[in-house]
Structure 1
Amino acid sequence: MARPLLPVPLLVLVLLAACSAAGEQTGPAHVDAAPPSKIAVVGAGIGGTSTAHFLRQHFGPEVQVDVFEKAEVGGRLATVTVNHNDYESGGSIIHSLNLHMQEFVKQLGLKYRRSVAGKTAVFNGEEMILEETDWYLLDLFRLWWRYGISFIRLQMWVEEIMEKFMRIYKYQAHGYAFSSVEELLDSLGGSGFINMTRRPLSDSLLELGVSQRFIDEVIGPIMRVNYGQNVSIPAFVGAVSLAGVQNNLWAVEGGNKLVCSGLLKLANANLLQAHVTSISPVLSGDALQYQLSFNTESGSGSDLYDIVVLATPLQDSVESGINLEGFTPPFDQLPGSYHRTVATVVHGYLNTSFFGFPDPRLFPFANVLTTDTPNLFFNSVASICPVNISTGFRRKQPQEAGIYKVFSLQSLDKARLKTLFRSYYSVQVTEWQAYPRYGSSQGLPSVELHTNLYYLNGIEWAGSAMEMSSVAAKNIALLAYHRWNRQTDMVDQKDLMHRIKTEL
């Protein structure tokens, strides 16, 4: 999911990223000059489907690409239906600098969803402490009056990080790959980027000269809505969440999950509705393959593959149910866990009195973020629009019954629903293992688990978002291609900006 799940206007949000994570090449290689005959991708979210697409680009039309998915195509890009309209319940926003996602939309002939304006406020449990208005200059003046130049320092910091990160697209366009997240981060921002994955966001911002008040009242609410966590998350993850502005956000008409189904068709991949239960190495002479065992509705089966990409979390908290068997040394459970976020889509009347507006007609906000306050039981509430927006569509006014999405750590019982809503017609709850639980010191998971066995979701431990999964997918497709063809000069190269300039 990503992936930030909710648009956050105000001053900040959405996507930087990094790619892949370490592991040693062991075991025998393929027969010289023989291309792979079959590749398996486990997981059909944005990471898995974009991996299938990039693998097809690099390995050509002859290789068989099988994509295994036990649930719905799209993964954490998902929708729910209310009154015959579909609404995003998972990853809902994409930044304009997400070049892979933009290219996908162009290649698939999809359309950008029309944006519907809406103002944002920050609620501390008692009152709105920050309110967006219709006047940009007034908003800037209020920010300066309350926080000094903190927002300017933040913006300069984010822009510097973004400028360095955008190099990844040039590297990938020239065919370069990285065997680990650390290698990729080092190529983009040196030790500075790597250190950002190891220290809290709050420490980095305070060192930058950002005030504690700004961190508590602006940065904290954005971390809560995007990752369900506080400002103790690593600084690089925080930068992923702070790398944009409102008018640079977009979504796909008809739902972001259409990108995933479209990429499968574009890749001419075989979709198998099956739950992969185990992966085992199999030696046949000098050739190493992997046996995938799986369950379908009609029974169980197995098949052999030359290359396998795992595009689903392997942490125990997600319960992937995939056993890696027969490896020497044996695989341990990957460290870390995923964070539980509850998305509740409510069709009803918002209780604006709870936010200090007894008359709902005077409530001007489409999005309400919250500070890290003990008594607050939700991270955000937002009036949301359907994935198909007609020309004459208008956002419901607060005095009307609208569709709202509430993010919280726990499911909302009736008492809490009654606190947020005067009345409601329907409630739909989606529980996500949405993104890693950040802040622990478990490090960055490996990308190369074994020879020709790759793990895509390690990227999420540097930062979780749709584009990060797409960047990781491109990296793994390149890495798999270069490893297969023993093109070591295309992996983990140093001083790539200079190298690329000399190639031109």
Structure 2
Amino acid sequence: MLRLFLFLFLLLLSWPPVSGDAGATRLDVGGPPSKIAVIGAGIGGTATAHFLRQHFGPEVQVDVFEKGEVGGRLATVTVNHHDYESGGSIIHSLNLHMQDFVKQLGLKYRRSVAGKTAVFNGEEVILEETDWYLLDLFRLWWRYGISFIRLQMWVEEIMEKFMRIYKYQAHGYAFSSVEELLGSLGGSGFINMTRRPLSDSLLELGVSQHFIDEVIAPIMRVNYGQNVSIPAFVGAVSLAGAQTNLWAVEGGNKLVCSGLLKLANANLLQAQVTTVSPVYSGEIVQYQLSFNTATGSGSELYDIVVLATPLQTSVASGVKFQGFSSPFDTLPGEYHRTVATVVHGYLNTSFFGFPDPRLFPFASVLTTDTPDLFFNSAASVCPVNISAGFRRKQPQEAGIYKVFSPQPLDKAQLKTLFRSYYSVQVTEWQAYPQYASGQGLPPVELHSNLYYLNGIEWAGSAMEMSSVAAKNIALLAYHRWNRQTDMVDQKDLMHRIKTEL
């Protein structure tokens, strides 16, 4: 029994202090921070506020600045008194942070409504889902050989390695760069995947060009509006998002963001941050944030600042950096423009080769990378609140459709896709980076106690990627503040964790 108590005592001494009483570990270096600012209230910013509160405790003041709507790229539009997702719509079943948010906030999973998918090449439907899973598998094998099996094994291997991040973060480990984070999960293989095209990786894997053109390309077009030249890592993220085990939040995914702000007891400031300037007191640096509100302007001093908004010029976040030796207002790269058009009307099924709409069996249509095609996908969508008696509209009825396209649809294009329509709502997004091989990954640490969250998007853009980055920055900020260097950028973490246990 004495040995057992001694073991438990030693275990408690060695356990990493990742949350709770931050002041107790900061006594030798001046105590916990007084005020922390987060710029941006999308999923990344609100998750960061939540995790900062977890790790720094209840005393620190957490201010979240947002110039627009809480939720950022998680947003809805209203049609006929019902709301529909216009931004980020799907979440993977293995997204553990998002699952945990929903559980903590008491939110519910949205009831799924079945619907079949097809691929259209501009002239005809070349691939279609049926009601029979085994028949679908047989058709894939008959048309593409074992390419789909090789692809599935590749995606599963990547996801299995990526899942390690949850163990690392549960034990309190953080990373000072996106490269360090990816390297800890998949070694140089993951880092190289951010630098080479998806098509090259798949061809090397033994996936046929036929399969890439007819299956992979349509998935890239609907998820990222881009082609198979995007880097392999973000391609794998996209392919994971094309699986069947997906979900969404009842009432809208943006409810997670507003819920996290409340859970964090954060102060929401409806303001546009204009400048971030360092203020030095000996070796200590703080940050002066200047901002504009609807009623005037102001400024505040913060110990730690997290930028959870893109800094690329194409997005125009409006934040300027003054007084730094090297500016980072404009990081390299651009964000990709994609247009979400929500239409209430009658789909023109004849365009897809089905003159009788009653015979059109598909809820969504993806498209191949064909020059004459002006849209990436068209899908019948369900509202964010789905009642028990809800049913998807049949093609011969007026329904709600969401069309993704690189440019706003003109009247001729709308008439091509729809026999007639009652309303059209257009949302233009700078939704995700314009991916290119060898473009590099932005920094996480811009300056002492000044962090940048959105750099993770250049590895892969998704709600869970932002949530992982939020947890990493909260841990990194905590360890940097408390000078716990042994919790940052450690090697062979799987072995270390097993040793700790």
TM-score, shorter chain, exceeding 0.5: yes
| Aligned partner of 2:107 among 102, 105, 110 | 110
CA distance in 2, matches of 1:314, 1:51: 17
- Is 1:171 the equivalent of 2:160? no
Match runs of 1:7-86 below 5 Å:
32-86=29-83
1:357-415 C-alpha deviation (Å, 9 max, x unpaired) = 00000000000000000000000000000000000000000000000000000000111
Partner of 2:10: none
Residues 30 and 287 in structure 1, CA contact (< 8 A), matched pair in contact too: no
Question: 3-state DSSP class of the match of 1:328?
Answer: coil
CA distance in 2, matches of 1:400, 1:31: 69
CA distance in 1, matches of 2:294, 2:490: 46
| Aligned partner of 2:365 among 368, 374, 377 | 368
Partner of 1:19: none
- Is 1:226 the equivalent of 2:223? yes
Question: 3-state DSSP class of the match of 2:314?
Answer: helix
Q: Which shifted more, 450-459 or 29-38?
A: 29-38
1:258-284 C-alpha deviation (Å, 9 max, x unpaired) = 000000000000000000001000012
- Is 1:414 the equivalent of 2:411? yes
Shift of 1:286: 3.7
Partner of 2:310: 313
Partner of 1:500: 497
Shift of 1:92: 0.4
- Is 1:338 the equivalent of 2:335? yes
Shift of 1:32: 1.1
Question: 3-state DSSP class of the match of 1:217?
Answer: helix
Partner of 2:152: 155
Shift of 1:323: 0.3
Residues 345 and 420 in structure 2, CA contact (< 8 A), matched pair in contact too: yes
Shift of 1:441: 3.0
Q: Which shifted more, 488-497 or 431-440?
A: 431-440
Residues 177 and 479 in structure 1, CA contact (< 8 A), matched pair in contact too: yes
- Is 1:489 the equivalent of 2:486? yes
1:405-464 C-alpha deviation (Å, 9 max, x unpaired) = 000000001110000000000000000000000015330000000000000000000000
Residue 52 of structure 1 aligns with an amino acid whose one-letter code is A
Partner of 1:469: 466
Shift of 1:328: 1.3
Match runs of 1:231-310 below 5 Å:
231-243=228-240, 246-310=243-307
Residue 83 of structure 2 aligns with an amino acid whose one-letter code is D
Residue 261 of structure 1 aligns with an amino acid whose one-letter code is S
Residue 437 of structure 1 aligns with an amino acid whose one-letter code is Q
CA distance in 1, matches of 2:462, 2:455: 12
1:315-340 C-alpha deviation (Å, 9 max, x unpaired) = 00001111011001333620000000
CA distance in 2, matches of 1:286, 1:60: 25
Residues 43 and 311 in structure 1, CA contact (< 8 A), matched pair in contact too: yes
Question: 3-state DSSP class of the match of 1:229?
Answer: coil
Aligned residues: CA RMSD = 1.2
CA distance in 1, matches of 2:423, 2:448: 50
Residues 93 and 249 in structure 1, CA contact (< 8 A), matched pair in contact too: yes
Partner of 1:479: 476
Residue 177 of structure 1 aligns with an amino acid whose one-letter code is A
Partner of 2:205: 208
| Aligned partner of 1:187 among 184, 196, 202 | 184
CA distance in 1, matches of 2:495, 2:125: 50
| Aligned partner of 1:377 among 359, 374, 377 | 374
CA distance in 2, matches of 1:450, 1:411: 39
Residues 336 and 440 in structure 1, CA contact (< 8 A), matched pair in contact too: no
CA distance in 1, matches of 2:294, 2:439: 37
- What count of residue pairs does the alignment treat as equivalent? 476
- Is 1:390 the equivalent of 2:387? yes
Partner of 1:448: 445
CA distance in 2, matches of 1:228, 1:383: 18
CA distance in 2, matches of 1:50, 1:242: 24
Pair 467,72 (structure 1): closer, same or farther in 2 beyond 3 Å: same
1:282-320 C-alpha deviation (Å, 9 max, x unpaired) = 012442100000000000100000000000000000011
Residue 294 of structure 2 aligns with an amino acid whose one-letter code is E
Residues 30 and 288 in structure 1, CA contact (< 8 A), matched pair in contact too: no
Residues 347 and 417 in structure 2, CA contact (< 8 A), matched pair in contact too: yes
CA distance in 1, matches of 2:138, 2:414: 36
Shift of 1:242: 1.0
Q: Which runs of 5 or more structure 2 residues have no equivalent in the other structure?
A: 1-25
Residue 162 of structure 1 aligns with an amino acid whose one-letter code is M
CA distance in 2, matches of 1:244, 1:297: 39
Pair 394,246 (structure 1): closer, same or farther in 2 beyond 3 Å: farther
1:46-89 C-alpha deviation (Å, 9 max, x unpaired) = 00000000000000000000000000000000000000000000
Residue 37 of structure 2 aligns with an amino acid whose one-letter code is A
Partner of 2:20: none
- Is 1:88 the equivalent of 2:85? yes
Pair 316,245 (structure 1): closer, same or farther in 2 beyond 3 Å: closer
CA distance in 2, matches of 1:286, 1:178: 24
Report the TM-score, using the length of structure 2 for normalisation.
0.94
CA distance in 1, matches of 2:438, 2:139: 38
Partner of 1:432: 429
